[in-house]
Amino acid sequence: MSLKVYVSGTFTSQERLREKADILRKDGHDIVSTWLYEAPRPAHLNTYTWNQALADKDIAEVFAADCIILDLDDASTTGGRYVEWGLTCHPGSLRLRYLVGGKDKDGVFLTKAHKRFDTWHDLFRYFSIHHSKD
């Protein structure tokens, strides 16, 4: 079953997470987290306006996803990944919630994960069995 996947993580991990998203894409999943390919802020927009637009876009993409994968391997720089995660934890949410890596495994809202993976390799193996496009 092919999924619409939102990969969430810290902005400083963008390049590393883009590679992970590309593996999922090659396996037939639709990656809806466009922040992975975000261009720098255009000069004509002030930081506040740019951040508002990014927040609106990211929230819409989280709601469009069937699944969120929260990468915890690097320290958060903005806290945005936790906002994205929180959006998927409301009662009645049908989004799958997966955690990957990191030492931050005790947060109260991280208990809302459907499954935790120590490594991305473990997640890819799980996806190949449980979310295969076949």
- CATH code assigned at 21: 3.40.50.450
- Token code pair at residue 2: 């092919």
Residue 108 pLDDT exceeds 70? yes
Integer angstrom CA distances of residue 112 from 23, 44, 70, 99, 103: 25, 40, 12, 10, 16
Of the pLDDT bands very low, low, confident and very high (cuts 50, 70, 90), residue 104 is low
Q: How many domains does the chain have?
A: 1
Which pLDDT tens digit goes with each residue over 66-87? 999 999 998 888 888 999 999 9
Q: Which residues contact 42 (CB under 8 A, 6 or more apart)?
A: 50
State the pTM of this model: 0.93
pLDDT tens digit sequence for 11-70? 999 999 999 999 999 999 999 999 999 988 999 999 999 999 999 999 999 999 999 999
| Whether 8 contacts 20, CB under 8 Å | no
102 with 72: CB under 8 angstroms?
yes
What range does the domain containing 9 cover? 4-130
